[in-house]
Amino acid sequence: MTENFIPIIGPIPSLDTVVWQEDDTKRELVVKSWAPYQRFAVEIGDSGLDSFGLTQGNFGVFRSARWPDRECQVCLVRFGDEVTIRLIEGINATMVTLRVSGDRIPPLELEPTDFSIVGILDGVIDIEFAKVVEPQATEFDWGC
């Protein structure tokens, strides 16, 4: 199986929000699967969604998407310049619920226009098995 490289963003918490910014180190996560959609990895910043396998230090692999296609999906959520990871419930209702595992913080009841979805969880890679690399600089052949 061929190796694919996806960019890493993070660390991103689920119990709080952080300002969205690209990872300055330009690290990439090596995955051994291909997908027909754009993916990116998020370094998990806390254990707010640990019942879904998203524990601190692991990597969540997200597919780029604007809205979940099924109920109760874990999503990377954006509030203006800030992001967090939350489980979304009531995707077809006028008010949706954003929550974490257990009762660690109160769930948020929001209208779908109060936030945006950046990505939907596609898989989890344990830090113990993750292979992180810096992208290789590609040399341009001028054909001379």
Residue 47 has pLDDT above 70, yes or no: yes
Distance CA 64, CA 101 (A): 23
Burial label for 65, CB within 10 Å (0-12, 13-18, 19+), is middle
What pLDDT band is residue 42 in, cutting at 50, 70 and 90?
A: very high
- The pLDDT tens digits for 48-85 are 999 888 999 999 999 999 999 999 999 999 999 999 99
pTM: 0.86
Residue 126 has pLDDT above 80, yes or no: yes
User: What pLDDT does residue 132 have?
Assistant: 84
Distance of CA 144 to the CA centre of its chain: 43
CA angle centred on 51, ends 35 and 80, rounded to 5°: 65
Q: E strands of 13-125, at which residues?
A: 18-19, 28-31, 39-44, 59-64, 73-79, 82-89, 96-99, 108-110, 116-125
Pick the CATH number of 4-133 from 1.10.3210.10, 3.40.630.10, 2.10.109.10, 3.30.70.980: 2.10.109.10
Respond yes or no on whether the N-terminal peptide bond of residue 7 is cis (omega within 30° of 0).
Answer: no
